[in-house]
């Protein structure tokens, strides 16, 4: 079934008390609106239209960075949800297929639930509304169901006492044939206290036109909306709890699950060991059998099978570790490719570099990759050994099986199997230490007087 997503993302989010549009506030490293886009991705939508308003330029930039094929339309006046959806009319002119309306501040509607909505459409329903059983219905609109038909949506303020007892509530998510959706919206009026055009009114209009409306249900947690910083923190907690459980169910060991922080797109293989206080930024792929030791931070990187990272390691974007690589404590890598079995065990920075198979990088080694204007590349060959406290001044190449003596500053290429060493000549003065110490003690005493 051909599908278009319409994502409403025009609200300012006054309760966020922020200059940033509400839908750009992040959960698990991705803006709320990106979560909504990702929810529909497994359904392979042909079109994705995001309705922006407040901070539209910022929203456009972030949405297109995530999906360059997405389309941005503007809602210049906030005149209700039906009016917001109607802003996508021109973009979807001539589109033949279904449209699902999602919300940029409701990040957790699952792909499975959207699949259920599609199934309801395929079974003959003209309009499908997503509902949920609310623990505390409160101010939610109620879905009045008669048999297998959705009769109407009643706002809490307009509901009778009997209708207020209904716990099946409206999430706002709607699906219909695109042409049908916009035809129904064209008939929505604004004769209400707020003077706004409400998407919920299409159910009454559709029923009056003899169309079939049905409700599909999901867990209440999927409909969690974010309207404040408190809501944002609660949503983050919901995501992290769910993702931790998923990781463990899929074969990863989390030693202290409550301390591990996932990004929205983190991918872990089987038999991965994650020690306490590991943080994943966006874009991390970890293969089978990896050990991620405590207090490590990973972002935009790939960790090959059987590698060991940390503790206290930082893998920055562009880090690509092959099988069996060892990255030790207080090591930082960035835009670095490390081949099978390479070792950087402690206190080093490897940036804009390639490290050959089985190469060993000694403690305190740094690749000097930045000259203040441009970045430069360092190449370290297979089985090379870099002595501790060395500085490799890029651009530079260290050949295969070459040795670099500890404490060296290397600014020229080192051929394969060569030894390179740069040190000042060491001098030893017998007895001078005792004389110098005595002189310094005398100076200290005189200063005290």
Residue list for the binding site for acetyl-CoA? 363, 369-370, 388, 406, 423
Q: In this structure, what is the dihedral angle of CA atoms 6, 89, 118, 234, given to the nearest 10 degrees?
A: 20
Binding residues for Mg(2+): 105, 227
Q: CB neighbours of 204 closer than 8 A, spacing ≥ 6? A: 152, 153
Nearest Cα neighbor of 381 from 409, 360, 395, 363 is 360
| Residues tagged in the binding site annotation | 8-11, 22, 75, 80-81, 103-105, 141, 155, 170, 227, 316, 334, 349, 360, 363, 369-370, 388, 406, 423
At 291, list the tokens: 């050990």
Task: Indicate which residue of 25, 54, 261, 346 is catalytic.
Answer: 346
Radius of gyration of the chain (CA): 30
Residues near 357 by beta carbon (within 8 Å), at least 6 away in sequence: 322, 339, 340, 341, 342, 382, 383
- How many angstroms separate the CA atoms of 410 and 404, rounded? 8
Alpha helix (H) residue ranges in 152-198: 161-164, 178-185
Q: How many CA atoms lie within 13 A of 444 on its CB side?
A: 6
Is 376 part of the annotated catalytic residue set? no
Cα separation values, 71 from 6, 67, 83, 98, 245, Å: 10, 9, 18, 17, 34
The annotation places the binding site for UDP-N-acetyl-alpha-D-glucosamine at 8-11, 22, 75, 80-81, 103-105, 141, 155, 170, 227, 316, 334, 349, 360
- Active-site positions? 346
């Amino acid at each position: 079934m051909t599908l278009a997503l319409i994502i409403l993302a025009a609200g300012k989010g006054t309760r966020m008390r922020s200059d940033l549009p509400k839908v750009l506030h992040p959960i698990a490293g991705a803006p709320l609106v990106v979560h909504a886009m990702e929810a529909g991705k497994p359904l392979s939508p042909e079109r994705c239209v995001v309705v922006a308003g407040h901070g539209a330029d910022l929203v456009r930039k972030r949405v297109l960075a995530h999906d360059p094929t997405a389309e941005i339309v503007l809602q210049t006046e906030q005149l209700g949800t039906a009016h917001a959806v109607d802003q996508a009319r021109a973009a979807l002119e001539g589109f033949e297929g279904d449209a699902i309306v999602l919300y940029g501040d409701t990040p957790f509607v699952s792909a499975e639930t959207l699949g259920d909505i599609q199934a309801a459409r395929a079974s003959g329903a003209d309009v499908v509304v997503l509902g949920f059983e609310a623990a505390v219905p409160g101010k939610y609109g109620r879905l009045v169901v008669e048999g297998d038909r959705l009769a109407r949506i009643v706002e809490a303020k307009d509901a009778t006492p009997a209708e207020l007892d209904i716990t099946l509530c409206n999430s706002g998510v709607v699906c219909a044939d695109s042409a049908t959706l916009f035809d129904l919206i064209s008939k929505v009026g604004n004769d209400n206290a707020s003077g706004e055009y409400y998407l919920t009114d299409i159910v009454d209009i559709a029923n009056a036109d003899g169309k079939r409306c049905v409700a599909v249900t999901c867990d209440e947690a999927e409909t969690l909306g974010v309207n404040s910083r408190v809501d944002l923190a609660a949503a983050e907690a919901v995501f992290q709890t769910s993702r931790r459980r998923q990781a463990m169910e899929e074969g990863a060991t989390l030693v202290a699950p409550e301390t591990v922080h996932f990004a929205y797109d983190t991918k872990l293989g089987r038999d991965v060991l994650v020690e306490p206080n590991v943080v994943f930024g966006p874009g991390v792929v970890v293969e089978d059998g990896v050990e991620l030791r405590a207090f490590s931070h990973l972002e935009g990187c790939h960790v090959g099978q059987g590698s060991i990272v940390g503790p206290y390691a930082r893998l920055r974007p562009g880090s690509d570790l092959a099988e069996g690589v060892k990255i030790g404590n207080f090591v930082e890598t960035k835009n670095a490719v490390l081949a099978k079995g390479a070792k950087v065990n402690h206190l080093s920075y490897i940036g804009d570099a390639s490290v050959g198979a089985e190469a060993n990088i000694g403690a305190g080694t740094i690749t000097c990759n930045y000259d203040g204007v441009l970045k430069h590349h360092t190449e370290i060959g297979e089985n090379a050994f870099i002595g501790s406290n060395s500085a490799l001044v890029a651009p530079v190449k260290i050949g295969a099986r070459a040795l670099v003596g500890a404490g060296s500053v290397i600014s020229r290429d080192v051929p394969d199997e060569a030894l390179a060493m740069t040190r000042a000549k060491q001098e030893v003065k017998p007895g001078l230490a005792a004389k110098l110490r005595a002189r310094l003690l005398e100076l200290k005493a005189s200063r005290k007087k």
